[in-house]
């Protein structure tokens, strides 16, 4: 045989062997691919195991999410890598013994539940969705066949309960369940963006707000509490807290009461806080003037209903006195002078009938009267018969006392925007600022005064309604205070609400907003102002407000004693 022919035969044999090896490798890869497809199909088909604490859920375990940071770059939520444990039950030589061994080395895993999962014929079952390094080692030492260690990202909240209701939480598969995590779920899981999402919240302000809110909540043994700090000029929420709260790292362990966000997920009849809006509507209508006085010598009668003042003066009251002393009698007459249509239009323009558009899961819809009879107009004037969330109200007051524009409240830095221009006369805004300043300077809100800042605000105390509108609960109130600083050119709004506070010896048993919520707001302002770089109010600003205040002697019709009466002068008057 020729040498060239022998070499050709050898080359053909090598090529045949290569083709055979290629076929073998293709079959091997196809087998692996089919196995992966089978496992993927089984991951997606697992049903949720109720009440076991070992949820078998659809989709990938522990989906990766973008980091969340506060407005100054501080980390508030992140995803960290971890492992989940699954098993192919068909490969277990003794499923009962395997279940017993795994339950022994894994915390929170029950043998009986694993035995149910390891039923015959199954090719995939979850064992535990989050393993600690120690648990991983312990499982590996068991030497069981068919174990699958799968990547599983875990969501971590370094600030723990500090930002509970603001951030919310995720489930075992990394899907948002509450708070920003739920409202921005798609944004946070978008694979096209790995950059951290910057929130509007300031962790420093959140910390001091929660401290002061928690102190008031405990001091007055309240059922619940809400607090927020709102940037008047941008609509950004620098802080939002609700009590009781929870640790987002252990979201599944929180009770429904702990998860309840009282700032956006609950509506309240806010009582005298609403007098700010009623005064704005009446003055804005042109039918009531700042110089007007109203007869508050006797309670009002509307049909069978009697309306009286908690701090009755039993004399004629000026418009500034009606706000400063929180007179129900006076504010109802102002509302009647303006008319039901004006009042209703103002409430609607201020967004108090609209759903919130803030980036939170809990967003309760306001409760409005079905018809506006005289008694409804009267009670709405002082905050009864209408219920809104605290954030609804805060946003409305910020518009009235800020620049006259209603802004969207937002938890994302730069995420706000103007919803509508209320087209308020500049003089009306200045008058409202004066009235709120007077309430803190000489009226029911004096316990919110802060050295260095001119503060404006309004107290609120409201009886809690019975279910179904069958009257009000005896002895159960919601007390609140809304404050703005510096009132000569408001930058920030602070609101504190206490649900069913109890009076103390220091408050002489009173539960009014001026005694319980106002001091908390004052302390928040005193601490947050310098932190946020808000310069102190100038002597000139104080002189300008004092120049509008006219003080004169009057006689209290109830006590017969002489006291100070207040009126407002026109600027430069």
Instruction: Specify which residues 460 forms β-bridges with.
Output: 480
How confident is the model at residue 81, as a pLDDT? 81
- Domain 82-152 shares a fold with domain 205-568: no
Write out the H or E segment, with its range, that includes residue 3.
helix 3-45
Average pLDDT over residues 500-513: 92
CA distance 78 to 193: 14
How confident is the model at residue 191, as a pLDDT? 80
Residue 424 burial class via C-beta count within 10 angstroms: exposed 0-12, middle 13-18, buried 19 and up: buried
CATH C-level class of 82-152: alpha beta
Q: Which CATH architecture has domain 205-568?
A: 3-Layer(aba) Sandwich (3.40)
- Number of Cα atoms under 13 Å in the Cβ half of residue 220: 35
Q: Say which residue, 467 or 419, is predicted with more confidence.
A: 419
How confident is the model at residue 287, as a pLDDT? 96
Query: What is the pTM (predicted TM-score) of this model?
Result: 0.82
Contacts with 89 (C-beta within 8 Å, 6 or more apart), sequence order: 95, 117, 118, 119, 120, 122, 123, 124, 125, 146
Contact 411, 359 (CB under 8 A): yes
**Distance in Å from the first CA to the final CA of the chain:** 127
How confident is the model at residue 193, as a pLDDT? 81
Does the pLDDT value for residue 14 go beyond 60?
A: no
Structure tokens given for 409: 């409240």
Instruction: Specify which residues 150 forms β-bridges with.
Output: 84
Q: Per-domain residue ranges for the chain?
A: 82-152, 205-568
pLDDT in tens, 483-498: 999 999 999 999 999 9
How confident is the model at residue 135, as a pLDDT? 81
- Give the active site residues: 272
Contacts with 536 (C-beta within 8 Å, 6 or more apart), sequence order: 452, 453, 486, 529
Give the pLDDT band of residue 15 (cuts 50, 70, 90).
Answer: low
Does the pLDDT value for residue 60 go beyond 60?
A: no
Mean pLDDT of the residues in the chain: 87
How confident is the model at residue 9, as a pLDDT? 58
How confident is the model at residue 43, as a pLDDT? 36
Beta strand 83-87 with 68-69: parallel, antiparallel or unpaired? unpaired
Does the pLDDT value for residue 386 go beyond 90?
A: yes
Does the pLDDT value for residue 36 go beyond 50?
A: no
Name the least confident of 8-12, 137-141, 173-177, 333-337: 8-12
Name the least confident of 71-80, 471-480, 557-566: 471-480
Structure tokens given for 501: 């506070």
* Helix/strand/coil for 92: coil
Does the pLDDT value for residue 42 go beyond 80?
A: no
pLDDT in tens, 73-131: 999 999 888 778 888 887 888 878 887 888 887 888 887 888 888 876 678 888 887 77
Write b or e for each residue in 22-59: b if 16 or more Cβ atoms lie within 10 A of its Cβ, otherwise e: eeeeeeeeeeeeeeeeebeeebeebeebeebebbbbee
How confident is the model at residue 310, as a pLDDT? 87
pLDDT in tens, 298-350: 999 998 999 999 889 999 999 999 999 999 999 999 999 999 999 999 999 99
How confident is the model at residue 38, as a pLDDT? 42
Does the pLDDT value for residue 427 go beyond 90?
A: yes
How confident is the model at residue 62, as a pLDDT? 54
Name the least confident of 1-5, 332-336, 349-353, 448-452: 1-5
Q: Is the peptide bond before 244 cis (omega within 30 degrees of 0)?
A: yes
Residues in the chain: 573
Instruction: Specify which residues 151 forms β-bridges with.
Output: 83
Does the pLDDT value for residue 19 go beyond 70?
A: no
* Helix/strand/coil for 394: helix
Does the pLDDT value for residue 171 go beyond 90?
A: no
Contacts with 232 (C-beta within 8 Å, 6 or more apart), sequence order: 398, 401, 402, 484, 490, 491, 492, 493
Q: Is the peptide bond before 486 cis (omega within 30 degrees of 0)?
A: yes
How confident is the model at residue 20, as a pLDDT? 52
pLDDT in tens, 205-253: 999 999 999 999 999 999 999 999 999 999 999 999 999 999 999 998 9
Backbone angles phi, psi at 78, to 5 degrees: -150, 165
């Amino acid at each position: 045989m020729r040498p060239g022919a022998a070499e050709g035969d050898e080359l053909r044999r090598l090529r045949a062997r290569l083709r055979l090896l290629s076929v073998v490798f293709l079959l091997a890869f196809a087998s692996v691919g089919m196995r992966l497809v089978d496992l993927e199909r089984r991951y997606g088909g697992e049903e949720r195991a109720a009440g076991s604490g070992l949820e078998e859920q659809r989709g990938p375990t522990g989906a990766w999410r973008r980091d969340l940071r506060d407005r100054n770059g501080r980390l508030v939520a992140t995803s960290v890598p971890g492992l989940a444990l699954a098993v192919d039950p068909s490969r277990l030589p003794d499923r009962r013994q395997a279940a017993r061994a795994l339950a022994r080395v894994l915390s929170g895993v029950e043998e009986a539940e694993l035995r149910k999962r390891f039923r015959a014929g199954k090719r995939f079952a979850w064992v535990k969705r989050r393993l600690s390094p120690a648990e991983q080692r312990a499982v590996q030492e068991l030497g069981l066949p068919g174990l699958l260690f799968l990547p599983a990202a875990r969501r971590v909240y370094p600030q723990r309960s500090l930002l509970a209701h603001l951030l919310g939480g995720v489930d075992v598969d990394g899907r948002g369940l509450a708070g920003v995590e739920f409202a921005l779920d798609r944004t946070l899981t978008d694979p096209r963006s790995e950059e951290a999402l910057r929130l509007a919240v300031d962790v420093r302000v959140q910390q001091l707000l929660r401290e002061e809110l928690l102190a008031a909540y405990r001091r007055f043994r309240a059922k619940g509490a809400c607090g927020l700090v709102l940037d008047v000029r941008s609509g950004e929420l620098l802080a939002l807290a609700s009590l009781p709260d929870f640790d987002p790292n252990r979201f599944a362990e929180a009770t429904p009461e702990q998860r309840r966000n009282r700032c956006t997920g609950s509506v309240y009849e806010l009582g005298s806080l609403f007098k700010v809006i009623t005064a704005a509507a009446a003055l804005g209508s042109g039918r009531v003037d700042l110089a007007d006085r109203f007869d508050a010598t006797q309670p009002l009668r509307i049909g069978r209903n009697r309306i009286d003042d908690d701090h009755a003066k039993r004399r004629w009251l000026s418009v500034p006195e009606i706000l400063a002393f929180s007179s129900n009698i006076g504010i109802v007459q102002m509302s009647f002078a303006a008319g039901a249509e004006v009042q209703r239009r103002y409430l609607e323009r201020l967004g108090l009938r609209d759903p919130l558009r803030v980036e939170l899961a809990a967003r309760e819809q306001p409760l409005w009267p079905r018809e506006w009879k005289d008694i409804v107009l009267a009670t709405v004037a002082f905050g009864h018969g209408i219920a809104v969330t605290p954030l609804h109200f805060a946003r409305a007051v910020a518009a009235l006392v800020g620049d006259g524009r209603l802004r969207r409240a937002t938890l994302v830095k730069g995420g706000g925007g103007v919803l509508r221009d209320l087209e308020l006369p500049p003089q009306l805004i200045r008058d409202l600022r004066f009235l709120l300043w007077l309430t803190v300077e000489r009226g029911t809100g004096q316990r919110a005064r802060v050295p260095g800042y001119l503060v404006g605000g309004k107290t609120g105390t409201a009886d809690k309604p019975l279910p179904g509108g069958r009257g009000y609960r005896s002895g159960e109130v919601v007390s609140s205070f809304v404050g703005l600083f510096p009132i000569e050119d408001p930058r920030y709004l602070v609101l504190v609400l206490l649900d069913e506070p109890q009076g103390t010896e220091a408050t002489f048993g009173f539960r009014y907003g001026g005694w319980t919520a106002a001091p908390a707001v004052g302390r928040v302002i005193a601490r947050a102002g310098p932190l946020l770089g808000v310069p102190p109010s100038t002597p000139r600003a104080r002189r300008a407000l004092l120049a509008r205040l006219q003080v004169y002697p009057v006689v209290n019709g109830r006590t017969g004693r002489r006291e100070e009466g207040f009126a407002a002068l026109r600027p430069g008057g």
